[in-house]
């Protein structure tokens, strides 16, 4: 297959394994970036991740399977198109409608951002379709400002917009917020697992005791919104808003494996990767995360 003729598919899968009709997993690139406040480049994330995915091994040694076969194929949709004049609310609606359409066709949807704003439409589409649902946010930031720089759809307000429509949110890895957000969390009794509590072993003496504490806080169905800055910037330096003291690969993957064993992960998004020229490991790592998580979701 010539990469010049065909759009990039996740893993470089040929039509036989990437057609939408047969595939139970569907990837939808949402290269939306409008409100970034610090480093820019999240609009380039989806393309970089899809390109990097073509270098992944199709076989996964942990699952002892080719993951794309577990889901009977993985479809990659054309990137959503956002014009320069596209208002944030319109972008949220476009993502909501696109994701809803795929859920209604029975697909498990993976939305690749783009800035965190893309999670509003993607998570609320799942909220509309699934009962008994928690929205799980892995992130360095609580994103609970009511507005930021005058914008209610800022990446820093994503979880406030989600909370207005779906109150059962669980936050993990938080290590940067303002007082307004801290007060909001206390007032609304939001289940926030701060990084300093996790690393201080507040949830038990075992290294991964926090995994069980987080899973216990979740309902049976889980939608995951994964901000790449959950990872430590030493692992993923390609971020708009990097925060030290983040999480490593092994503990994150072990958590996701356990999560899928104990809860029904109905869909997820990955957001905020801002590629750096000539630095390839961030997008490769995130592509592998997506691949692993699809495998965990579909293996029986």
What residues contact residue 216 under an 8 Å CB cut-off, 6+ apart? none
Least Å distance between CB 24 and Mn ion?
A: 29
Pick the closer one to Mn ion by CB: 96 or 230. 230
Closest CA to 242 of 9, 37, 27: 37
Helix (H, G, I), strand (E, B) or coil at 214: helix
To 10 degrees, the CA torsion angle through 245, 37, 180, 151?
A: -150
Least Å distance between CB 64 and Mn ion?
A: 34
Least Å distance between CB 141 and Mn ion?
A: 4
Task: Copy the structure tokens of residue 50.
Answer: 């899809």
Least Å distance between CB 173 and Mn ion?
A: 9
What phi and psi values does residue 167 have, to the nearest 5 degrees? -85, -20
Pick the closer one to Mn ion by CB: 37 or 264. 37
Least Å distance between CB 160 and Mn ion?
A: 14
Asked if 271 and 226 count as a contact pair (C-beta separation under 8 A), the reply is: yes
What residues contact residue 156 under an 8 Å CB cut-off, 6+ apart? 35, 37, 141, 143, 145, 148
Pick the closer one to Mn ion by CB: 130 or 247. 247
Least Å distance between CB 67 and Mn ion?
A: 27
Least Å distance between CB 269 and Mn ion?
A: 13
Sign (positive or negative) of CA dihedral 113, 114, 119, 122: negative
Q: How far apart are CA 195 and CA 91, in angstroms?
A: 31
Sign (positive or negative) of CA dihedral 183, 189, 191, 193: positive
Pick the closer one to Mn ion by CB: 11 or 274. 274
Helix (H, G, I), strand (E, B) or coil at 172: strand
Pick the closer one to Mn ion by CB: 33 or 139. 139
Pick the closer one to Mn ion by CB: 26 or 224. 224
Place of tokens 């498990």: 108
Asked if 294 and 17 count as a contact pair (C-beta separation under 8 A), the reply is: no
Which residues lie across from 264 on neighbouring strands? 221
Q: How many helices (H) and strands (E) does the chain have?
A: 11, 10
Pick the closer one to Mn ion by CB: 227 or 232. 227
Least Å distance between CB 210 and Mn ion?
A: 19
Pick the closer one to Mn ion by CB: 91 or 140. 140
Q: How far apart are CA 139 and CA 224, in angstroms?
A: 11
Binding site for Mn ion (CB under 5 A): 139-141, 227, 229
Task: Copy the structure tokens of residue 152.
Answer: 């209610």
């Amino acid at each position: 297959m010539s990469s010049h003729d065909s759009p990039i598919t996740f893993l470089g899968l040929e039509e036989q394994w990437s057609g939408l009709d047969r595939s139970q997993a569907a990837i939808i690139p949402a290269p939306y970036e409008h409100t970034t406040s610090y480093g820019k480049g999240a609009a380039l994330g989806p393309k970089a991740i899809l390109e990097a995915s073509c270098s992944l091994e199709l076989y996964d040694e942990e699952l002892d399977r080719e993951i794309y076969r577990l889901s009977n194929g993985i479809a990659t949709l054309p990137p959503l198109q956002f014009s320069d004049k596209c208002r944030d609310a319109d972008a949220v609606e476009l993502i909501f409608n696109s994701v809803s359409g795929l859920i209604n066709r029975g697909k498990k949807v993976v939305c690749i951002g783009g800035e965190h704003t893309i999670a509003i439409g993607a998570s609320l589409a799942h909220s509309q379709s699934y009962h008994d649902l928690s929205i799980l946010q892995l992130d360095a930031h609580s994103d609970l400002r009511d507005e930021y720089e005058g914008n209610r759809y800022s990446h820093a307000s994503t979880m406030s917009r989600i909370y207005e429509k779906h109150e059962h949110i669980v936050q993990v890895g938080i290590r940067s917020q303002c007082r307004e957000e801290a007060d909001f969390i206390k007032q609304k009794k939001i289940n926030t697992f701060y990084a300093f509590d996790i690393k201080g072993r507040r949830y038990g003496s075992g290294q991964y005791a926090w995994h069980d504490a987080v899973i216990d806080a979740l309902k049976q169905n889980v939608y995951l919104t994964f901000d790449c800055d959950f990872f430590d910037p030493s692992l993923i330096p390609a971020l708009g808003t990097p925060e030290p003291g983040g999480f490593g690969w092994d503990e994150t993957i072990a958590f996701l494996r356990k999560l899928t064993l104990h809860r029904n992960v109905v869909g997820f998004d990955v957001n905020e990767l801002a590629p750096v020229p000539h630095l390839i490991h961030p997008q490769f790592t995130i592509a592998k995360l997506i691949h692993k998580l699809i495998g965990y979701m579909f293996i029986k």
